[in-house]
Amino acid sequence: MQLSKRWALRIAGFLGTVTVVGGLSQAVGLKYWMPRSNNRSLNVYLYQREKIEPDVLIVGSSKILRGLVPTLIDTELSNRLGRKVKTYTVGQLGAGCYTNSIVLRDVLASNRPPKVVIFEVTPGALNANHNKVPNALRYYASIPDLIRAIPWLTDGERMSGAASGFFRGFANLALYGHHIAFPHGLTVGLERLLLWKGRMYGIANDPPERLSSLSPRQRKRMIRRTARLARALHMDRYRIGGAPEAGFYHSCRLARSVGFRLVVINPPVTDDYRRLVFPDAVTDEYSRFMREAERSETFGFYDLDRGIPRLTDADFLDLGHLNSDGAQKLSRYVAADILLPMMSDREVGSSE
């Protein structure tokens, strides 16, 4: 009995220490320093630390990171509105709706809300079995998030991700201590990111690599590789629900409670990508879900996968990502046809 009580106290003390360390790392703004201190996660850290207050905030995955050019959107809107407009991107590689909802919630808590949030929602991003949910638990979720996620810990990978997330505070503080002791390498990266302030994403000026330039053999090989990878990452055991669906609805509630326009977009992909990765049954389920969500929530939905004119294979880098030419076309379209009417609206566009 005495032994059991001693071990119970040790376990309680250990869990209490982990909780305190996790809370401390987040309280000082280090939540997004892990796993690799990559530019995308550090960009969120800088957004929170520097109190950046954009007019337009972009949240999504690599499709939106490559597809929307913040500086180009700023130029288009500023010229048409006659006032300065600022756009910022906090997209994360491979992110689905669950990851994006956590990032959006946290950046909104640190700054004045933007006027408009562009929120990427592809069919795969809503999949209850989205392969990146373990990453969200490991690298983005807070300890309260992990507790709320217990119903979604349905396999070993998600359990492992949640366990890693519970101990992430130690790693973050250790990395921060290393940065203080040996500041040069990371400081240079932080200073560069701070200079760009989330505006480096989207490929605006590089000579475009074109999908249309591939030989039939190269394209066939790319199709095989893309279909296998995309299905494994986003479409395995496809079902809308679980953590991604909850994340999407949480973002809709944030729009109502915080007070910003929520713009939901499905970015364009090639016909081959749509055929291989999003078969008709999936796109039909996705369309039904979005129609039902529009009836109960307040957001504007733009299915840009089928609604952007003038995009051809020459505008794509690969089957699912735009090159620089395609990104410029998409950015101008979003600025002129979606954002400009909203930013011209007196309620949204008026200065505070």
> Would you say residue 146 lies in a domain?
yes
**Per-residue pLDDT reduced to its tens digit, 87-100:** 988 889 889 999 99
**Cα 117 from Cα 299, distance rounded (Å):** 10
> Would you say residue 178 lies in a domain?
no
| Residue 227 CB neighbour total at 10 angstroms | 17
- Residue located via tokens 């690969």: 318
Average pLDDT, the chain: 85
Compute the average pLDDT of residues 311-324: 91
pLDDT category at 228 given cuts 50, 70, 90 is confident
What total number of domains does the chain contain? Answer: 1
Q: Which pLDDT belongs to residue 176?
A: 76
> Would you say residue 89 lies in a domain?
yes
**Cα 331 from Cα 339, distance rounded (Å):** 10
Q: How far is CA 25 from CA 20, 28, 42, 158, 178, in A?
A: 9, 6, 14, 22, 14
Q: Which pLDDT belongs to residue 35?
A: 45
Amino acid at 27: A
> Would you say residue 6 lies in a domain?
no
Q: Which pLDDT belongs to residue 187?
A: 62
Structure tokens at 295: 């009836």
**Per-residue pLDDT reduced to its tens digit, 26-85:** 777 777 765 455 667 777 877 877 777 899 999 999 999 889 999 899 999 999 999 999
Q: Which pLDDT belongs to residue 333?
A: 94
Q: Which pLDDT belongs to residue 34?
A: 58
Q: Which pLDDT belongs to residue 109?
A: 87
> Would you say residue 205 lies in a domain?
yes
Residues 96/251, Cβ–Cβ less than 8 Å: no
Least confidently predicted of 23-32, 63-72, 265-274, 286-295: 23-32
CATH number of the domain at 275, please: 3.40.50.1110
> Would you say residue 43 lies in a domain?
no
Range of the structural domain that residue 245 is part of: 51-156+198-349
Percent of the chain past pLDDT 70, that is, above it, reads 87
Q: Which pLDDT belongs to residue 16?
A: 81
> Would you say residue 173 lies in a domain?
no
- Please indicate whether residue 182 or residue 270 has the higher confidence score (pLDDT): 270
> Would you say residue 40 lies in a domain?
no
pLDDT of 336 higher than 90: yes
Q: Tell me the whole-structure pTM to 2 decimals.
A: 0.87
